[in-house]
Amino acid sequence: MDLKIYKDKQEVAEQFSSYFVDQLKDKDAFHVALSGGSTPKIVFDVLADNFADKVDWSNVHFYWGDERCVPPSDDESNYKMTVEHLFSKIEVPKENINRILGEKNPVNEAMRYANLLEIDLDRVEKTPQFDLVILGMGDDGHTASIFPHEIELWDSQDHCVVATHPDSGQKRVSINGKVINAAKEVAFLVTGASKAEKVKAVVEKTEGSDAYPASLVNPSSGNLVWFLDKEAAAKLNQNPS
Ligand code: 6PG
């Protein structure tokens, strides 16, 4: 596990953008699963501002680790957020953007998206393998849209599952734990003081931390990196940087 701790969200965004672009080097086709929520917004802004014309985006194939079951025009849509903060500012072919159809029936869409991943991506032991899965983490220790009250979905046989937000009841479509842990590399993007308690629990594997889906992130490749700001890392026993 590689812990990278930076002073603030801006520095995390700059460092993550450089890391992401480094990952693309010499790759004819790079398949990445994006995270949603609010944390990626500044990262996508910096990626677009600093690298829009420095990357051949036709080599990058975008997917999502999870989506809210809302139309693409809805402010809750991870797709909409990504269009506003990234896609609207870079030259990426439309066919490289593989969004989860949040407006469709969740069960059918989970099956369709799993099928798409199984066709588009290489597979390891029948599990679709991303080059990179980007994950966020909620204050409750959820990741992608696998929440503590439905942690059994992590080991679902279905590569994409239907989940339910514990407070809003909002339906979500999410990749499962097998797909996350089959990735060549997994990167957590986590900032802000509200995440510090769960960052400590998950990184230091404190008692009871196995109740948090984020604690189950353990890619078989061994390639797991955390991008944290000082606030999110504040409760860690030792600060490596
Ligand atoms: C989503 C996400 C989810 C997110 C965390 C953190 O669709 O909500 O993919 O897993 O990464 O909830 O969200 P914030 O970045 O908004 O804190």
Measure 66 CA to ligand 1 centroid, in angstroms. 9
Concatenate the DSSP letters of all residues of 92-131 into one string. Answer: --GGGB----TTS-HHHHHHHHHHHHHHHSEEETTEEE-S
Instruction: Kindly report, residue by residue over 108-156, the tens digit of the pLDDT.
Output: 999 999 999 999 999 999 999 999 999 999 999 999 999 999 999 999 9
Secondary structure element (H or E) that encloses residue 47, with its range: helix 40-51
Residue 162 pairs in a beta bridge with 173
Instruction: Kindly report, residue by residue over 160-175, the tens digit of the pLDDT.
Output: 999 999 999 999 999 9
Instruction: Kindly report, residue by residue over 180-195, the tens digit of the pLDDT.
Output: 999 999 999 999 999 9
Measure 142 CA to ligand 1 centroid, in angstroms. 8
To the nearest whole number, what is the mean pLDDT of the chain? Answer: 97
> For residues 73 and 43, is the Cβ–Cβ distance under 8 A?
no
Long-range contacts of 102-108 (CB under 8 A, 24+ apart): 102/67, 102/68, 102/69, 102/70, 102/71, 102/72, 102/74, 102/77, 102/173, 103/69, 103/70, 103/71, 103/72, 106/69, 106/162, 106/171, 106/172, 106/173, 107/162
pTM over 0.85: yes
Nearest atom, ligand 1, residue 68 CA: 7
